[in-house]
Chain A
Amino acid sequence: DTGVSQDPRHKITKRGQNVTFRCDPISEHNRLYWYRQTLGQGPEFLTYFQNEAQLEKSRLLSDRFSAERPKGSFSTLEIQRTEQGDSAMYLCASSLSVSVGQGGNTQYFGPGTRLTVL
Chain B
Amino acid sequence: KNQVEQSPQSLIILEGKNCTLQCNYTVSPFSNLRWYKQDTGRGPVSLTIMTFSENTKSNGRYTATLDADTKQSSLHITASQLSDSASYICVVREGGYNKLIFGAGTRLAVHP
A: which residues have CB within 8 A of B? 4, 31, 33, 40-45, 48, 55-56, 91, 93, 100, 103-112, 114
Contacts and interface: CB of A to CB of B under 8 A. Distances in A.
A31 B100 CA distance: 13
A109 B103 contact: no
The 3 closest A-B pairs by CB, nearest first: A42-B102, A109-B43, A109-B44
A104 B31 contact: yes
B104 A41 contact: yes
Contacts of A41: 104-105
Q: Which size bracket describes the interface of B in this complex?
A: 20 to 34
A111 B51 contact: no
A43 B102 contact: yes
B96 A100 contact: yes
A109 B36 CA distance: 10
A31 B43 contact: no
Contacts of A106: 34, 46, 49
Given A56-B98, A104-B31, A104-B32, A42 B43 contact: no
B32 A42 contact: no
B73 to A, nearest CB: 14
Contacts of B44: 43, 91, 109
Contacts of B1: none
A116 to B, nearest CB: 13
Given A33-B98, A42-B102, A103-B51, 8 more contacts: A40-B107, A41-B104, A42-B105, A43-B102, A106-B46, A107-B46, A111-B41, A112-B43
